[in-house]
């Protein structure tokens, strides 16, 4: 196999969809499917008899070992492999969850083949894929934000806002954060809006990336 070939593994319990994706990937120049797996456990088992893939196409909802669990295992055991999430779920909480577990891109299963190919090319060439779910600003936040402005923003954050920021950088729903902080949901919404203003971010994912960059939350 050519050294220039990017090797792909597919992890999805929907066999027909997975087979269709595998056939599509094999039509793309420079890509080859190494193997397919039904879930995370099957993926780990197949690694015993296959080379390590360069990119792993990963579903979220699977039996036995789901997408988040598999992504965490990959992050720890295959640090050079890049995960592209393919899912029907577009919730902010799940996107945050998968980004924290090392995913380099996130696209929906109803994406057009051209978008899918673009995602593969981007992850292969630049290490991540930016789209409407994981925007350019979100992904580049870690490397592009001015450190002086960042520290000034942090200096203005109150103790309660900092507590909220650390909780917001998890996948905990806002209602649960309010309960943990013993305040109303309106109050945590206020903390969120103040942090958006002080830290110059526009979404919860932006808060997550800010927390990661400043050591308040680990990937």
**How is the chain split into domains, by residue range?**
6-134, 141-213
> Tokens in use for 91?
């919730």
Which helix (H) or strand (E) is 87 found in, with range?
A: strand 82-87
pLDDT of residue 1: 41
Q: Per this entry, what is the length of the chain? A: 219
Cβ count within 10 A of residue 10: 24
**Candidates 3.40.1160.10, 3.40.50.2300, 3.40.50.720, 1.10.3720.10; CATH matching 6-134:** 3.40.50.2300
pLDDT of residue 47: 96
pLDDT of residue 170: 81
Q: In 172-211, which positions are buried (b, 16+ CB within 10 angstroms) versus exposed (e)?
A: eebeebbeeeeeeeeebeebbebbeebbebebbbbbbbbb
Query: What is the mean pLDDT of the segment spanning 16-23?
Result: 92
Q: How confident is the model at residue 155 (pLDDT cuts 50, 70, 90)?
A: confident
pLDDT of residue 171: 78
Q: Note the CATH architecture for domain 141-213.
A: Orthogonal Bundle (1.10)
One fold for 6-134 and 141-213: no
pLDDT of residue 123: 92
By the 8 A CB rule, do 83 and 102 touch? Answer: yes
pLDDT of residue 218: 57
By the 8 A CB rule, do 54 and 48 touch? Answer: no
pLDDT digits (tens, 9 = 90+) for 30-77: 999 999 999 999 999 999 999 999 999 999 999 999 999 999 999 999
Question: Is 70 exceeded by the pLDDT of residue 169?
Answer: yes
Of 213 and 192, the one with more pLDDT: 192
Q: How confident is the model at residue 135 (pLDDT cuts 50, 70, 90)?
A: low
């Amino acid at each position: 196999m050519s050294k220039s070939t990017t090797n792909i593994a597919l992890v999805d319990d929907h066999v027909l969809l997975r087979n269709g994706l595998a056939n599509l990937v094999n039509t793309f120049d420079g890509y080859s499917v190494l193997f397919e797996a039904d879930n995370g456990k099957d993926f780990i088992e197949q690694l015993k008899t296959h080379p390590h893939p360069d990119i792993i196409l990963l579903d979220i909802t699977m039996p036995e070992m789901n997408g988040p669990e598999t992504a965490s295992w990959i992050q720890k055991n295959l640090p050079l492999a890049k995960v592209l999430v393919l899912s029907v779920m577009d919730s902010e909480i799940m996107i945050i969850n998968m980004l924290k577990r090392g995913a380099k891109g996130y696209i929906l299963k109803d994406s057009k083949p051209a978008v899918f190919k673009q995602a593969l090319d981007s992850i292969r060439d630049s290490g991540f894929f930016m789209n409407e779910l994981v925007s350019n600003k979100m992904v580049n936040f870690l490397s592009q934000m001015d450190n002086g402005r960042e520290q000034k923003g942090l200096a203005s954050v109150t103790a309660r806002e900092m507590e909220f920021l650390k909780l917001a950088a998890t996948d905990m729903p806002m209602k649960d954060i309010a309960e943990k902080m013993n305040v109303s949901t309106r109050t945590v919404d206020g903390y969120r809006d103040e942090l958006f203003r002080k830290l110059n971010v526009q979404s919860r994912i932006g808060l997550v990336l800010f927390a990661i960059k400043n050591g308040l939350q680990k990937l």
